[in-house]
């Protein structure tokens, strides 16, 4: 009876007060009612690196915290987890060179004989180019070295070989998400796969795929232009403003926010370098892309003591690029490719990559001095003298 009278009195109160009384009477939950954010592959990979970057950022600004993280990861973690074990395995494979080199030469001669017999049966001559034969020879040597090295605990291909690359992808993805950008190393690597998947799934919907890659400002301008075209046709009144046009265009596609806009860290836009204060944008002076390209190119001319002695021998003057090895030419090409990739990346990513490659360059030099690769064991070229017993048949 008392509860009924109290309820009747509550009906005379204003609706806002009744709602407040009801909320106070309901037991509060200790957890959030918001649905959990869907985690994709990129956010999962960038979880650990993001924690390290945030920890360093509590003590220093971003333009110091990002290079510090690069030095710690490449100089300490990658060195003891991948670089040093890989160098020790390379030393073991150098001592095993006579074994795997013999296997590689045997496999190469067997492959050439097989190809020659196959073309002879078909009545054709060998049509393989020199580049294809070189790639095939390198692959046969790598397989022979891997098989022989695996028997002695020094394989060529292992999980440690990709550790440095994986850490670089993880930290650049963490910085890309903090910048709220869609440009990064992992999206560039996965772009051909995504393009092929979208093309095979729906070849007609190329415009929709392009619309997903547009910025919100570009989508807003495109949507306003379409609304004005509809207004010219006469479907909408001519006295409407731009804001009213956007409200009336219900049938147009909705605006999509950037993929990682919710993860954007505003402090990255204010704690940058003197010539590039906004680390979420590209470097307007191209200083960081040039520094990255030069750092990668410098590793092509990092030579050990044995290579320097070889270069000191008198040779004919054939130009500055005539004596470059295949590895050096490939490194110079990669440095040029990285420059064109870097001009589209946010400055925060380049602020991590440049110190990382620089530390890797110094790390390679330190390993050459501390753990030099031994000289390759070559078979003796001296003529062998064997004693031959004379028999009566030789007389």
**Cα dist from 76 to 40, 89, 127, 252, 369, whole Å:** 29, 19, 49, 53, 18
pTM comes to 0.68
- Answer yes or no: are the C-beta atoms of 49 and 171 closer than 8 Å: yes
CA atoms within 13 A on the CB side of 170: 20
Whole-number Cα distances in Å, 222 to 31, 215, 225, 253: 42, 11, 5, 10
Q: Are 301 and 328 in contact (CB under 8 A)?
A: yes
Give the count of alpha carbons within 13 A of 340, CB side only. Answer: 5
The candidate with the shortest Cα–Cα distance to 274, out of 68, 53, 59, 63, is 63
Let me know: does 354 contact 288? Beta carbons within 8 Å. yes
Domain ranges of the chain: 38-88+164-195+264-310+323-372, 97-151
Total count of residues recorded for the chain: 395
* Separation of alpha carbons 320 and 299, rounded Å: 17
- Residue by residue, pLDDT tens for the chain (395 residues) are 445 555 555 555 566 555 565 555 545 544 444 444 555 566 677 778 888 988 898 888 888 999 999 999 999 999 999 999 999 998 988 888 888 888 888 888 888 888 777 777 766 655 566 777 788 888 888 888 888 888 888 888 887 888 888 899 889 888 888 888 778 888 888 777 877 777 776 554 454 444 455 555 666 666 666 666 655 655 555 555 555 555 554 444 444 445 556 677 788 888 888 888 888 888 888 888 999 999 988 888 775 444 554 444 445 555 556 667 777 888 888 889 889 888 888 888 999 999 999 999 999 899 989 988 888 877 777 776 766 666 655 55
Q: How many CB atoms lie within 10 A of CB 349?
A: 26
**Using an 8 Å Cβ cutoff, are 148 and 99 in contact?**
yes
Given a contact cutoff of 8 angstroms between Cβ atoms, the answer to whether 61 and 271 are in contact is yes
pLDDT for residue 192: 78
**Residues 67 and 75 sit within 8 Å (Cβ to Cβ):** no
């Amino acid at each position: 009876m008392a509860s009924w009278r109290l309820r009747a009195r509550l009906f005379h109160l204003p609706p806002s007060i009744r709602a407040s009384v009801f909320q106070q009477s309901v037991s509060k939950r200790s957890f959030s009612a918001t649905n959990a954010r869907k985690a994709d592959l990129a956010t999962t990979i960038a979880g650990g690196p993001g924690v390290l970057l945030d920890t360093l950022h509590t003590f220093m600004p971003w333009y110091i915290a990002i290079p510090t993280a690069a030095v710690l990861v490449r100089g300490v973690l990658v060195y003891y987890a991948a670089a040093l074990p890989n160098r020790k395995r390379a030393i073991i494979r150098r001592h095993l060179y006579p074994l795997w080199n013999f296997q590689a030469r045997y496999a190469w001669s067997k492959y050439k004989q097989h190809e020659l017999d196959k073309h002879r049966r078909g009545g054709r001559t060998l049509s393989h180019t020199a580049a294809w034969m070189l790639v095939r020879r390198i692959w046969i040597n790598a397989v022979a070295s891997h098989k022989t090295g695996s028997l002695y605990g020094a394989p060529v291909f292992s999980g440690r070989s990709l550790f440095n690359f994986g850490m670089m992808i993880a930290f650049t993805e963490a910085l890309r998400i903090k910048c709220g950008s869609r440009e990064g190393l992992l999206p560039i690597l996965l772009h051909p796969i995504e393009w092929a998947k979208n093309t095979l799934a729906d070849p007609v919907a190329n415009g929709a795929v392009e619309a997903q890659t547009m910025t919100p400002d570009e989508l807003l301008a495109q949507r306003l232009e379409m609304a004005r075209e509809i207004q010219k046709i006469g479907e909408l009144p001519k006295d409407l403003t731009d804001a009213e046009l956007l409200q009336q265009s219900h049938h147009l596609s909705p605006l999509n926010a950037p993929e990682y806009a919710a993860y954007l860290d505003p402090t990255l836009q204010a704690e940058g370098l003197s010539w590039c204060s906004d680390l979420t944008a590209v470097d307007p002076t191209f200083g960081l892309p040039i520094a990255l390209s030069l750092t990668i190119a410098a590793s092509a001319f990092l030579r050990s003591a044995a290579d320097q002695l070889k270069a000191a021998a008198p040779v004919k003057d054939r130009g500055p690029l005539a004596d470059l090895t295949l590895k050096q030419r490939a490194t110079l090409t990669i440095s040029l490719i990285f420059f064109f990739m870097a001009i589209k990346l946010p400055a925060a990513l380049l602020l991590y990559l440049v110190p990382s490659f620089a530390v890797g360059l110094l790390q390679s030099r330190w390993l050459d001095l501390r753990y030099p690769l031994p000289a390759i064991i070559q078979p003796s070229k001296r003529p062998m003298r064997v004693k031959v017993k004379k028999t009566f048949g030789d007389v």
